Amino acid sequence: MFRILTKKELNPTVTQMEIEAPAVAAKAQAGQFIILRVDAEGERIPLTVAGCDKQRGAVKIIFQIVGGTTRRLNALDAGDSIEDFVGPLGRPTETEGLKKVAVVGGGVGCAIALPVAEKLFGQGCEVHSIVGFRNRDLVILEDEFRAVSKKYVLMSDDGSVGEKGLVTDALKKLIESGEQYDEVIAIGPVIMMKFVCLLTKNYGIKTVVSMNPIMIDGTGMCGGCRLTVGGVTKFACVDGPDFDGHQVDFDEAMARGSMYRDFEEGEREKTCNLFKAAK
């Protein structure tokens, strides 16, 4: 069992936890992920490593409450334990040699983007962070991003915070103002990453995206997380999760990602009814 050390609400739909997992904390790097089960009957879900405290043996995870499993996880508190916490899995984000990078995060994808920005900053890279949310109430990790970013641009769909518009609007403005990036790293909803890549392709800027398709075992055996990258089948769990965004078939990824939407909606309703009955 793995004990929950801390729990913090980042916004009404996003929660941060620290899990006591010394073996994972000792080795995990930015860009990698873990797979957990809340209880013995639970499903396996992948979550990105949002940070580590090696001295305390703590691994930070940030998750959005969207389905039955994340709702069960969110029902737990500090001091409770979860059944499994396996990792680190996947390949770390490659940052060596980069001098100036635009890190683009969308929604809860900012939880994945932040440790990458922190790693780049720690290596002396100039980081420009562009983050987008639907509205003011959903903003997360603003102070953390500002601490590692020479430029921080906050966008919102409704204009209630930061600038009104999309992250692509801000990125295009920076590029056309003369900013020259070694690389753009985009992490967020698949549709957001697709349009970031369409933009950067016009300017010839290398762009890396972090993909989170349906995943089961996390070791490359099940094939559930397959993607088409440059016309070749890749597995996000072992070949990624980072890929050359200009080579990813985003339309295929979005179609596969929606396959279990009806099932997940049913699980969410079932879990909600269980919580109501318990009260």
Are 158 and 231 in a shared domain? yes
Residues 72, 16 within the same domain = yes
Q: Quick check: 277 pLDDT over 60?
A: no
What pTM does this model have? 0.87
What is residue 216's predicted lDDT score, i.e. its pLDDT? 78
In a domain, 265, yes or no: no
The percentage of residues in the chain with a pLDDT greater than 70, rounded to a whole number, is 92
Q: How far apart are CA 95 and CA 98, in angstroms?
A: 6
Instruction: Please say if the pLDDT value at position 206 is more than 60.
Output: yes
Count: domains in the chain: 2
**Mean predicted confidence (pLDDT) in 194-214:** 94
Task: Please write the tens of the pLDDT for every residue from 207-244.
Answer: 999 998 877 777 777 788 889 999 999 998 899 899 99
pLDDT confidence of residue 218: 76
Looking at residue 70, its pLDDT comes to 92
At residue 196, does pLDDT exceed 70? yes
Compute the average pLDDT of residues 13-41. 94
26, part of any domain: yes
Q: Three-state SS across the chain?
A: CEEEEEEEEEECCEEEEEEECHHHHHHCCCCCEEEEECCCCCCCEEEEEEEEECCCCEEEEEEECCCHHHHHHHCCCCCCEECEEEEEECCCCCCCCCCEEEEEEEHHHHHHHHHHHHHHHHCCCEEEEEEEECCHHHCCCHHHHHHHCCEEEEEECCCCCCEECCHHHHHHHHHHCCCCCCEEEEECCHHHHHHHHHHHHHHCCCEEEECCCCCCCCCCCCCCCEEEECCEEEEHHHHCCEEECCCECHHHHHHHHCCCHHHHHHHHHHHHHHHHHHC
Q: Are residues 117 and 248 in the same domain?
A: yes
Helix axes 167-176, 190-203, angle to 10 degrees: 20
Question: What is d(CA 276, CA 274) in angstroms, rounded to the nearest whole number?
Answer: 5
> pLDDT by residue (tens digit) across 42-78?
888 999 999 999 999 999 999 999 888 999 999 999 9
Task: Calculate mean pLDDT across residues 26-39.
Answer: 94
User: How high is the pLDDT of residue 139?
Assistant: 95
275 part of a folded domain: no
- pLDDT band at residue 157 using 50, 70 and 90 as cut-offs: very high
pLDDT in tens, 236-252: 889 989 999 999 999 99
Same domain, 76 and 130: no
Looking at the structure, tell me whether residues 105 and 236 fall in a common domain. yes
Domain residues for the domain of 59 are: 2-89
Pair 105, 243 in one domain: yes
- Residue 48 belongs to a domain: yes
